[in-house]
């Protein structure tokens, strides 16, 4: 018997293909065809567009075969946006309506769309780069209480949703996944190393993510300054992949703390494979995390990880088995963990191999797809009173 596909309409604000957006697109591509016991899921995307040209997110989604609807924002505070969004949703008539950002949560509640469609609100944590972000974050307490279901990426985020008034039995925790690591050829890895001015003798400590305060890169630079003063530490370089508002401040800090020559900023990179290939260690110094994609990708690549014990990180990594966990905002603890990894090859090998096995066992696209499709099936049954 053929099972009808589940039609999901996802409202997402991102212009860039960030981690959550990439996870969404990979899932949608995978779930477009049914598998035994599970229906297909047809994901269409609604995104906002300000100015000319297509956003990177819209282009990537279309390249993956997804249907994309664009709501034009002619200016900030464009009062026509909610009405345009309502029109798109009512024309598409999804089986499930979901939103991935606080602004979209607010619009769906404001328009009363949660009364007409089973509404799934996703929570990836909160960032606030401007006053509008902070205002929407405050409004989320009102918005999310009306969601039929909420999905978040770690248990601490679920606890925060409960504190905001969301019923715990309406919350599902779903960690992200990592695709299998495909090692690039030696020439690609060598050219990437050369472009950053690294010698072949330098051990590479990699960090990756948006250069904003909650990612803790300032702590990593302070740790690098301490590490450089420790005896018996081999030559090393810290390579920070990503871009964001803190880049200039971080570069100035590295110079002021005497490690300007030991910290390289690689900028935003679409292809992370050469960086995982040349790294010996992943450092994750964050003050806040959900289900960090970079940690899962490093696990798939077999890298040992030194990470702060925040958010969903302890749900993914086990201290001493698949990584080293340490306190947040403690450069000294990070420096000690990095020294241990740089000077103990056997520990690095053991942690890396265990991390790769864990990623292959529990954090694959296939397992993520089955979990999410099953969640959609349960959501439909519950919404229809079955």
Comparing 136 with 37, the larger pLDDT belongs to 37
Residue pLDDT, tens place only, 169-197? 999 999 999 999 999 988 888 899 889 99
- What does the pLDDT read at residue 49? 80
pLDDT, tens only, 43-95: 999 998 876 767 888 889 999 999 999 988 776 666 788 899 999 999 999 99
Give the pTM.
0.90
How confident is the model over 200-244, as pLDDT tens digits? 889 999 999 999 999 999 999 999 999 999 999 999 999 999 999
Q: Which CATH superfamily is domain 186-362 in?
A: Glycogen Phosphorylase B; (3.40.50.2000)
Do residues 161 and 150 touch, judged by C-beta distance below 8 A? yes
Write down the pLDDT at residue 286.
97
C-alpha closest to that of 239 among 181, 299, 320, 294: 294
**Looking at domain 6-177+364-383, does it have CATH number 3.40.50.2000?**
yes
Q: Which of 71-75, 134-138, 141-145 holds the top average pLDDT?
A: 141-145
Give yes or no for residue 6 having a pLDDT over 90: yes
Q: What is the pLDDT of residues 251-283, one digit of tens each?
A: 999 999 999 999 999 999 989 999 999 999 999
Contacts of 289 (CB under 8 A, 6+ apart): 125, 154, 295, 308, 310, 311, 312, 313
Residue 126 has a pLDDT of 73
Give ranges for CATH 3.40.50.2000 in the chain: 6-177+364-383, 186-362
Q: Tens digits of per-residue pLDDT, 275-305?
A: 999 999 999 999 999 999 999 999 999 999 9
- Residue 365 has what pLDDT? 96
Taking the C-alpha atoms of 25, 175, 345 and 189 in order, what is their torsion angle to the nearest 10 degrees? Answer: 10
Residues 379, 273: contact at Cβ < 8 Å?
no
In this model, does residue 128 exceed pLDDT 80? no
pLDDT score at 56: 85
């Amino acid at each position: 018997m053929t099972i009808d596909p589940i039609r999901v309409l996802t409202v997402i604000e991102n212009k860039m293909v960030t981690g959550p957006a990439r996870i969404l697109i990979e899932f949608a591509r995978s779930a477009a065809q049914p598998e035994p016991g599970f229906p297909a899921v047809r994901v269409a995307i609604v995104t906002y567009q300000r100015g000319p040209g297509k956003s990177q997110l819209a282009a990537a989604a279309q390249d993956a075969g997804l249907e994309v609807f664009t709501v034009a924002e002619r200016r900030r505070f464009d009062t026509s946006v909610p009405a345009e969004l309502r029109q798109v949703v009512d024309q598409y008539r999804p089986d499930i309506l979901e939103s991935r950002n606080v602004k979209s949560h607010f619009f769906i509640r404001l328009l009363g769309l949660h009364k007409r469609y089973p509404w799934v609100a996703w929570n990836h944590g909160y960032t606030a780069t401007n006053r509008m972000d902070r205002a929407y974050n405050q409004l989320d307490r009102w918005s999310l209480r009306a969601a039929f279901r909420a999905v978040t990426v770690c248990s601490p985020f679920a606890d925060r949703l409960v504190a905001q008034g969301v019923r715990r039995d309406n919350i599902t925790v779903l960690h992200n996944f990592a695709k299998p690591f495909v090692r690039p050829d030696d020439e690609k890895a060598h050219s990437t190393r050369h472009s950053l001015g690294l010698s072949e003798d330098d051990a590479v400590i990699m960090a990756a993510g948006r250069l904003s305060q909650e990612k803790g890169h300032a702590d990593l630079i302070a740790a690098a300054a301490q590490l450089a003063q420790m005896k018996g530490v081999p030559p090393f370089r810290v390579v920070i992949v990503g871009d964001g508002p803190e880049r200039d401040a971080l570069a100035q800090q590295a110079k002021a703390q005497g490690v300007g020559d030991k910290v390289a900023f690689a900028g935003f990179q679409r292809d992370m494979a050469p960086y995982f290939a040349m790294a010996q260690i992943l450092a994750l110094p964050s003050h806040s995390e959900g289900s960090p994609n970079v940690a899962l990708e490093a696990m798939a690549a077999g890298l040992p990880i030194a990470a702060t014990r925040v958010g969903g990180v302890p749900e993914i990594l086990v201290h001493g088995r698949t990584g080293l966990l340490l306190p947040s905002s403690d450069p000294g603890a990070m420096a000690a963990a990095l020294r241990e990894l740089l000077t103990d090859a056997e520990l690095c090998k053991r942690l890396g191999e265990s991390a790769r096995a864990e990623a292959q066992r529990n954090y694959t696209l296939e397992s993520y797809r089955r979990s999410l499709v099953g969640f959609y099936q349960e959501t439909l049954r519950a919404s229809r009173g079955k």
